[in-house]
Structure 1
Amino acid sequence: MTKPGPARRGGDPAGRPQPRKGRRTSGKMLAVLALCAAVGAGGIGIATAPGRAEAEIPSESAAPMRNVAGLAAPVVKLVELGVTPADGAKAVNPAAPPSVKAVNGAVKDVVLVPASGGGRVPGTTSPDGSTWTAGDPLEFDTKYKFAFTIVDGAGRETRTAQTFATVAKAHEADAAVYPLNGTTVGAGQPIEIVFSEPVLDKVAMEKSVAVSSSSGQAVAWRWYSDRRVRIRPETFWASNSEITVDLQLFGVDFGNRMIGNSDTRVSFKVGPQRLAVVDDITKTMNVYFDGQLVRTAPVTLGDADWLSPTGFAVIMEQERNSRFNAGSIGLKPGDKGYYPPLTVEYANRLTSSGVYVHQALESAWRAVGKSNVSHGCVGLLPADAAWFFNNMLTGDVVQTLNTGAPAVEPLEGFGDWNIPWAQYAKR
């Protein structure tokens, strides 16, 4: 039998202490409970403990992501993902490299392939593993599948797949260059570029095309339309120089959703500076090679109804035998000056409307060097016509003086040299 102890003030018969009246539950206990609730929720986000703790709460010191004391916060940061192109995108520029960037994470196992089958597009990953970028340009009019894995700071992986499509064939654009690659032309030949589609931003287009010459001559651009441009130096190309036109048009926006589909590099050579000067007063032609007179020949020019144009013209093409038709210059049977179709010898075209240097018809030989009987062409005697044809080249220059007619228009062949240099550049 246990001896009863002394009575406890305010106690119960079992001797258990009673809480003091008015005592509050510990603030530390509430903070701990709040912490447990936040961490227990899991996921990626930001958790904060409400209220103020009466004592500092130790962090998860054993975890590599948290090794300092402080209020509870997420261990793993949210991954911010940037993908180009967007899922389902259409009319993607093939020159714009697809990429995946993960902020607060890493990218791996990237696969970019044509949806219809084909080789994998290569790419590179940044040293920190956060960014992948395609290394090769894409194809036009192609649907692509783009898949990749994102790894967050806790090592958790998420696989994502999406698709996009590049610019359709209907929106491809390109350009043609004259002179052609690998050719040799005369020193007066301007460069001509004809674009398949209108160019809206001409300044940007000029930056995409580099023109260089072994002679170091500066050039100017003259836009005759949104699709046609000519390029030339201030004076004729230097003798025996080489010209290169480098068109970096792949991916260039022409405007109107038209995208350049290729890069093109064209190089051509220039022969000696050959210039034929025709004077209507003396009825002669003097031919100069690199400034030296090499031949003088008598000529007949256009009569009073068909004056030969003056100024500079460039030989556009040469034909040993060329079929002439009066209908091409608007003449019909019965019209003054009409002639039946005929073949001329040693034809060197100067204008698109039909001005040539050629062998005069036999009926006109008596007028050569004395009077003008042609429809605007420069007529030569047979020996001189053969020499001219065999020694001059497309791109060489013919200058006609003192006929009283206007100069050759720029687009009437290559009359660009009749525009003063200070006025040549034009957009």
Structure 2
Amino acid sequence: MGEKRSRRVPMALLAAGIVAVLGLTACTSSGDEDAATNGKPDSTQSPSGQAAPKPPAKITVEPASGAADVSPSAPIRVTVADGTIQQLTLTNQTGKQVAGNLSPDGTTWTLGEPLGYSKTYTWAGTAKGTDGKTAPISGSFTTVTPTRTVDASLNVGDGKTYGVAMPIAITFDRDVTDKAGVQKMLTVNTSVPVEGSWAWLSDRQVHWRPKDYWPPNTQVSLVAKLYGTSLGDGRYGAEDRTANFTIGRSQVVRANTQTHRLQVFVNNQMTADFPASFGLESDPGRVTNSGTHVVMSKHDTYSMSNPKYHYENVVVPWAVRISNNGEFIHGYAPSIPDQGKRNVSHGCANLSPANAKIYFDSAMTGDPVEIAGSTNQLGPEDGDYYDWAVPWDQWLAKSA
């Protein structure tokens, strides 16, 4: 047998072969990869090549389960992330189901009716996560128990039309101590931009008025979200209040106790110039106050009494109330000789019955009556509505 020789590969050729293999690996065509992956990384693949698990439903209940002293007007809802609500009920302690609304995508349930005070509410339902698993929705909360509920009244009403000086007044039947909290729940929207502000004129009364007279024909919407709102000292609002009304044409009365005239301006054009007699100036108790009054009401006839000045049940025609201190514009035939010449009334503006009827027919609640010339000024002691006697900077200071 011949000798068997081993076959040796030169080192230079071996090194070239390794480079060739490495080069082949580094330069592999991407066409093969694209064919396998469509050119997109597989987002569902974990580093090990396994599909990443889909997340379970994440359920948020508001208020949190076990919450107490919850305001009935607080956000009441259930939201689900990474899943949808399958079914859900909210019931009170007697088992009555509360109305609610499920969003079109099934991720949010919101309250559909007001809740009551001093009640316990319970959630029951399920959500399905993107992982395909069902999760329970549960929990309960209790609404606040007020020491008492407080009602409020408005001076404006739906569908009504008012003059350009009309303030909005909200009057509470108990004191409000959390004025800032209440004021946050009061909204005035207007069809045209109007600068205005709320002012607390007492612990029970808050007014809104514009800085200047309302623009004619403005549409106004008032929303007072008082139900569920704390008024302080454990008191809560009894009901929400709303009103949608219109500001009419501009009619302004300008009267002067020294010239003894009462003039009417409609849209800045004088439409009447009446002789008048105002309050007797020698008696401070009878002086007609200077300042911007507001028409409050109208009466075909009105019975007037003032025991201090020894008259009772004096019936006058075409009476237009311009403040709560007893001031009116009205007809009074006995003072016709003095009208346009002297002031002899007990504080009212006297016109002849015929002229009083002309003014009466044109007047609207909320019209301004600007009186000048007297020694007395309209003020807080005169009650509603002395709003326009307050300078704007002082009015702003009364906001909470």
TM-score (norm: length of structure 2): 0.73
Give the secondary structure class of the aligned counterpart of 1:210. strand
Aligned to 2:320: 348
- What runs of 5+ residues in structure 2 fail to find an aligned partner? 1-45, 49-54
- What runs of 5+ residues in structure 1 fail to find an aligned partner? 1-65, 69-76, 332-336
Give, in angstroms, the shift of residue 347 of structure 1.
0.9
Give the alignment partner of residue 207 of structure 2, picking from 209, 230, 236: 230
Aligned to 2:89: 111
Give, in angstroms, the shift of residue 313 of structure 1.
0.5
Aligned to 1:308: 288
- Number of aligned residue pairs: give it: 347
Aligned to 2:304: 324
TM-score (norm: length of structure 1): 0.69
- Give the CA RMSD over aligned residues: 3.7
Aligned to 1:212: 189
Is the Cα contact below 8 Å between 2:77 and 2:111 reproduced in 1?
A: no
Give, in angstroms, the shift of residue 251 of structure 1.
3.7
Distance in structure 1 (CA, Å) of the matches to 2:61 and 2:139: 10
Q: Deviations over 1:224-252 (max 9, x none)?
A: 12331111122211122222223344443
Alignment of 1:34-53 (within 5 A): none
Aligned to 2:3: none
Distance in structure 1 (CA, Å) of the matches to 2:219 and 2:232: 32
Is the Cα contact below 8 Å between 1:97 and 1:137 reproduced in 2?
A: no
Is the Cα contact below 8 Å between 2:88 and 2:137 reproduced in 1?
A: no
The farther-off stretch of 196-205 and 303-312 is 196-205
Is the Cα contact below 8 Å between 2:320 and 2:330 reproduced in 1?
A: yes
Q: Deviations over 1:282-340 (max 9, x none)?
A: 2111111111111111111111211111111111111111111113xxx2xxxxx3113
Aligned residue identity for 1:369: G
Q: Percent identity?
A: 27
Aligned residue identity for 1:136: G
Alignment of 1:1-400 (within 5 A): 84-85=62-63, 89-98=67-76, 109-122=87-100, 124=102, 133-141=109-117, 142-148=119-125, 163-168=140-145, 171-173=148-150, 175-260=152-237, 262-303=239-280, 304-305=282-283, 306-327=286-307, 331=308, 337-360=309-332, 362-400=333-371
Aligned to 1:34: none
User: More relative contact order in 1 or in 2 (CA 8 Å, sep 6+)?
Assistant: 2
Distance in structure 1 (CA, Å) of the matches to 2:235 and 2:101: 26
Distance in structure 2 (CA, Å) of the matches to 1:251 and 1:392: 39
Aligned residue identity for 1:342: V
Distance in structure 2 (CA, Å) of the matches to 1:311 and 1:152: 69
Give, in angstroms, the shift of residue 384 of structure 1.
0.5
Give, in angstroms, the shift of residue 176 of structure 1.
2.8
Q: Deviations over 1:59-110 (max 9, x none)?
A: xxxxxxx998xxxxxxxx9999875546665442222344568999997653
Is the Cα contact below 8 Å between 2:226 and 2:240 reproduced in 1?
A: yes
Give, in angstroms, the shift of residue 161 of structure 1.
6.2
Give the secondary structure class of the aligned counterpart of 1:347. strand
Give the secondary structure class of the aligned counterpart of 2:361. helix
